A and B are shown apart, each in its own frame.
Chain A
Amino acid sequence: MKIFFTLNGKEIEIETPPDRRVVDLLREDLNLTGTKEGCGEGECGVCTILVDGESRLSCLMLSPQLEGRKVTTIEGLASGEKLHPVQEAFVEFGAVQCGFCTPGMILRAVDLLQKNPNPTRLEIRGGISGNLCRCTGYQKIVDAVAAAARKMNQENGGLIY
């Protein structure tokens, strides 16, 4: 079947079997390998993408579910060379080790900060608790998300705390 959706700001049309998982559509058919797969059953979160701005697990979605939606993968988060504040903070605060959880973790954090621009450390931990990381012990990821929140609030002229 043919599906239409917006992928990283561009409208696309693609032929796909109806039972094709979104993670396979992205990785294999569209070569967007920034979206990872770690378990294939919704436990690890490394396949996280944004669908209409909300974080979703692409291993648990089938391609037709993208019809008419706006999809953002990690490749579409930065504006050209300019990194999203969450990406920038992940680099600066050492939130990246092996990096396999990183794309999903960043997109999950972006969703979290959209809903809660001033999260406490505990709220950040809760917010990313569906995304596993085996390298960092999460501390530097929490540092990075907290720092990104501060920066985004400053940039948006919001509360500085």
Chain B
Amino acid sequence: MTIQNNILKVGRTTPRADAYAKVTGKEKYAVDYYDRDFLWAGVKRAGVAHARVKSIDVERAQAISGVLAVLTHRDVHGSNRQGVARKDQPVLAANKVRHCGDAVALVVAQDKSALQKALELITVDYEPLPAVFDPEEALKEGAPFVQEKNPDGNVLLKGTLQSGDAEAAFEECDAIVEASFKVPYQEHAYLETEGGWAILKEDGMLEMVVSTQTPFRDRAEVAEALGLDQKKIRIIVPYCGGAFGGKDGVSVQTFLGLAAIHCPNRPVKIWLSREESFLSSPKRHPCRLHYRLGAKSDGTLYALTASACYDTGPYDHLGGAVMALGLEHAASPYRIPNLRLQAWSVYTNNPIAGPFRGFGVPQVTAAMEQMVDRVAAKLGLSPLEIRLKNAVEEGGKNGLGISLTGSVHLKDCLVKIREHPFWKEKERWKSLAAPFKRRGLGLACVMHGIGYGPIVPDVANAKIELTSEGRFLIFSGVVDMGQGNATTYLQITGSILNQDPIDLELVLPDTERTLPSGSASASRTTFTFGNALIEAAKDLKERILQDSSDLVMAGGKEEMILLPGRIRHLPTGREILLSDLAKTLDDSEKVATGYFSAPVAKEFPTEDHALRLHGIPHAIFSYGAHLACVEVDELTGEVEVKRYLAVSDCGKVINPQIFEQQIQGGIAQGLGYALCEDFIVQNGEVQTKNLTTYTIPTALDVPDFESIAVEFEEPSGPFGLKGAGEIAIDGPLPAIANAVADACGIRLSRFPLTPERVLKALTEKGS
């Protein structure tokens, strides 16, 4: 698929390369394959939160006509373990189930109806075990152990970061505020549920087409879990139908592999139902937070203690790393000299929690940004001025004592808000509220670290090939789950090689063809891969110029310029077609690769190796300031976001349209997190089983958003860019909560701010 446009340029909106195939229905997603003779596979889920598995009876299921295999842990010949940081999750449960969504058996059948019957006929004899559903209870002595072999009981990871002396510093503060918060699960609700297909070929290759953010890591995981040679596994990833972190890691990959091994030479397909997706997929961690913030009378933020307890469910699934990123961001982007930040990631028998756009940061930002407003109110200061006064600055240090060596333009974002009509005319706008409606404005500052942090290698490998037709193939090792990074890669390449998009072709992630480049996550996708791609493109360009110079016996490559499809010798005007040049080159000369390793911080705010390993600290951050303008209905408790302004410091923008997509989409998800997305779990059982009861925002629930980018160059970024994929989701919850407080003077501790909760708070305040 190519873009019908002229030479690509960085900094200009270019229609997305994937748009044409997507609007015509031609794009084939992983779930869109229905090969001849394909088989359906499906999973038997536990349905109980914590129990010993005494026996699994598959006999009746096996007897169903059309059933080819009923598989249990006994049929898994590898480690039967999956997980990224810690391999603590079985592919198929052996002795024990730890949450309702655990997989206990896998069925492969000729059609869906046989599959369904067989799944129903599998019976498991469980001996119920005492379970723990409350993360704070899980930390207490005597709580049942979820991971019985974990040396730290139910603690997956905990950590403390401190500087100065917070306790003593509170004595010197003129105003102190203290509050607790409970933020909920959030379900990714990507519209394409987990799925794909696999086949074990006659030559022993296991090939898989699957919707994932992490093909290379998945390949290693599938190999280890199933006891296969990694070299005999190929994973291909088409465009995903949404992921948002929820497809970071194995979902159906090990099942597909296992099913394919047991039914060789037949394509096997899995596609989770919405209900199964909600039951088994990781969610945003629910979190309990307690904050205490002290300030001087002039508004200087001076002392902070914060604790955050993340409920990670029964398995790691990056729950330690999520907590660590939250811990690192817990003080928001302010210079607070005295702080003590603590966080826990705790095992429970609730659903699995894991990566979700924001990765632990929305939780702490929700708390901290409300605390800033509270302390400002107590001191009689403007919430905007107090943020401006304390905002981190380039060349300075953040609260953790880390020097900010990357670009920092938070203050510019706040100034943009101060100059904006929404802010300047706020009193008039508020006064125009209709009867029984109250209007208010709320601010939030956001920051978001880019990449994996100091230890886990954050690297990418790009590859570009000049084809014999004189076109260019761009091999992308990083998944495009909908963000449009693949288009940005075309734009970067086209810009450097001065080519028309018609002559550029993308190769999407494929472990056989593209090079390992890490996950599509951590706001790194364009930052890290983009840098690698620039290197590859520049290298190939130099080589083409040199080779063409030699070909025409020119005085050097400086006499040559690269044009769409051809090279021109400037002194003579003679032109060589790229296709003609390609004929003279060896295969190895037609390929260039680029490698990039993201910059890491050279200072450490902690000696705790586990925290470093889990990503603390980051070197490069994006920043932003958000303004929500809301209207609260005093009769119904409904909160309507009428206007929303996000000012972002994400460096230079390569494609304004794609940048806006990220900001607008992030705000909308954040708005759902703030107001309506209430994923309810009781005793480990999901109560909001589908999109009927778990409501995500519709077109009527969100306003038009205003997005402004303050475009300052980040020297380490590709064309000056910083990551923009996650930051927008960090702001809406606190900005909206602050706006609700401004509108009607209520502060809630529990989120989302559903009409019921808001009405109750209004009633309590009234009485």
Contact = CB atoms under 8 A, between A and B. Distances in A.
Which residue, B27, B29, B692, has most C-beta atoms of chain A within 10 A? Answer: B27
A99 B665 contact: no
A100 B23 CA distance: 10
B18 interface: yes
Interface in A119-145: 121, 124-126, 128-142
Contacts of B19: 90-91, 96, 99
A125 B699 contact: yes
Given A41-B692, A100-B192, A132-B698, A94 B661 contact: yes
B274 A38 contact: yes
A64 interface: no
Given A98-B240, A98-B241, A137 B705 contact: yes
B667 interface: yes
Nearest to A99: B22
A58 to B, nearest CB: 13
B28 interface: yes
A133 B666 CA distance: 12
A31 B192 contact: no
Interface in A94-126: 94, 96-103, 106, 121, 124-126
Interface string B74-112: 000000000000000000000000000000000000000
A134 B242 contact: yes
Contacts of B691: 38-39, 41, 43-44, 132
Contacts of B193: 38
Interface string A57-84: 0000000000000000111011000010
B118 to A, nearest CB: 19
Nearest to B32: A33
A97 B666 CA distance: 12
A50 interface: no
Contact of A40 (B26, B32, B273, B696): B273
29 contacts: A27-B32, A31-B34, A34-B25, A35-B25, A39-B690, A41-B274, A43-B691, A74-B23, A83-B24, A87-B23, A91-B15, A91-B23, A92-B15, A94-B15, A96-B19, A97-B242, A99-B23, A99-B482, A102-B22, A106-B23, A121-B704, A126-B699, A129-B699, A134-B665, A135-B661, A136-B665, A139-B702, A140-B660, A140-B661
DSSP class of B's interface residues: helix, strand, loop or mixed? loop
A61 B23 CA distance: 23
Given A27-B34, A133-B191, A140-B661, A78 B667 contact: no
A36 interface: yes
Contacts of B484: 97
Interface string B24-44: 111111001010000000000
A36 B192 contact: yes
B115 interface: no
A44 B690 CA distance: 10
B429 interface: no
A32 to B, nearest CB: 7
A38 B192 contact: yes
A123 to B, nearest CB: 11
B344 interface: no
B20 interface: yes
Contacts of A129: 698-700
A43 B690 contact: yes
Contacts, number: 170
DSSP class of A's interface residues: helix, strand, loop or mixed? loop
Contact of A135 (B274, B482, B704): B482
B483 to A, nearest CB: 7
A152 interface: no
B668 interface: yes
B239 interface: yes
Contact of A97 (B26, B661, B667, B705): B661
Contacts of B189: 132, 134
B700 A94 contact: no
B322 interface: no
A77 B189 CA distance: 28
Given A90-B19, A94-B657, A99-B241, 12 more contacts: A33-B25, A35-B25, A36-B241, A38-B691, A41-B691, A91-B19, A96-B19, A98-B241, A125-B699, A137-B666, A138-B699, A138-B702
Given A103-B25, A136-B668, A97 B482 contact: yes
B38 to A, nearest CB: 9
Contacts of A83: 20, 23-24
A100 B241 contact: yes
A135 B244 CA distance: 9
Contacts of A75: 24-26
Nearest to B728: A137
Contacts of A102: 22-23
Contacts of A91: 15-16, 19-20, 23
